[in-house]
Amino acid sequence: MLNDIRELSAIKERFDQLFSGIINRNKTNLHGYVHAAWHDALELHELWCSLSEHLSYTTAELRNKQYLLYKVQNRTVRPIRNDLFLSTHAELQKAFKHLPNCKQRADRSCEEVSHILYSLQQAINALADIFSTPNKSRKRVGMWFEVLVAAILHHTGSIDLKNVSLSHKLVSAFDVGGKRHEANYEIDIAIFASSSRMLDRKAPYITFTVKTTTKDRLDKIFLDERIGRFVFETPPKTYGIFLHDVQLKLHKKKPPHVSSTFKAAHYLLFKHLFQSSVQMFYLDVPLEDESMAREIGIHPFSELLNKL
C-alpha cells in the first residue's frame, strides 16, 4: 500500500489536471487537440502504472480470461484484463513502435493496436474510479475514448485527421403535421472522403459509434445507422467501437467476481428489426467463440484496420 497519503494526494492533483483537459482544451485545431490528448493519456498511463505497484488486488475469471481487481481505500477499480493491459510504460512504448507498420502487414492484423488502446483507456478509467465520481467522470471517460480511438487510427495511417469530425452533428429535416422541422443528431466520429466534403456538410463515408460499453447503450449504434439512412441518399457505413462489456460484481458474503453485460439476444433482435449491416469491434470481445462472434458481426478491434 502507499506509505504516504500525501503521495496519493499528489497523484490525484495531477490526475485532475490531465483528466479535465479533455473538456477544457480547444477543439478548433483537431490535430492539435488529438495530439495533446494522446500525450496526456501516455502520462495518465504512466501515473496508473506507478500507483498500481503499491495497490493490492485480487483476480477473477470470465470466459477463461483473467481480470485484475484493484482496490484503494474504499474505492474499487473496474476489471482490467490481464493479458490485454500493458502494465509498464516501457511495454507501451515498445508496442507503439509497431503502429506505423500495422496496415502494411500481410495478415492485416495488428494486436499492438488493441493492447495500446485498451491500456491507455483502462488506465484513465482506473484513475477515474479512484479519484473521481461516476456522475462527474462518465462523460469525460467517454470523450477520452472517442479521442483515443481517433488518435490510434491516425497513428496507424488508417485515417487522416483532416477528414475527421468528432461529435459530428447531422441535420435532419422532415415534415410532421404539415410543418417543416429540423433536428440535430450527434455522431461520435464521422470520417469523410475529403476535408471539403466535411466542410460542405456532405455525407461521411464511415461513422463510428464509440462507447466504453454497450450496457444501456446498445441501441445507439443501430439508431446511428438508421439516421444515416434517413438523412443521406448514400448512407455511410456504420461501425461500433467498444472497450468491453464486463462489470465488477460485489457481494457482502462472497468474493468479488466479473460478469458480462453483453446481451446477445438483444443485439440479434436489433440487427433483425433494423435489417442492420452494422459491424462491432471490441478491444475485449464479449463472446468466447470469436469465429461465432464474427458470424454475427462482432470482431476484435484490430480487424477494423481491414475496413479502413
Domain ranges in the chain are 5-307
10-57 tens-digit pLDDT: 899 999 999 999 988 888 899 999 999 999 999 999 999 999 988 989
Q: Which residue has the cell 490525484?
A: 12
Residue 289 to residues 17, 26, 64, 295, 296: CA-CA distances in angstroms? 41, 43, 11, 10, 11
Range with lowest mean pLDDT among 90-104, 169-183, 234-248: 90-104
* CATH (residue range 5-307): 3.40.91
Asked if 189 contacts 161 with a C-beta cutoff of 8 angstroms, the reply is no
Round to whole Å and give the CA distance between 2 and 8: 7
pTM over 0.85: yes
| pLDDT at residue 160, rounded to an integer | 92
154-206 tens-digit pLDDT: 999 899 999 999 999 988 888 898 899 888 999 999 999 888 777 667 789 99
71-89 tens-digit pLDDT: 887 888 999 999 999 999 8
Give the amino acid at 284: D
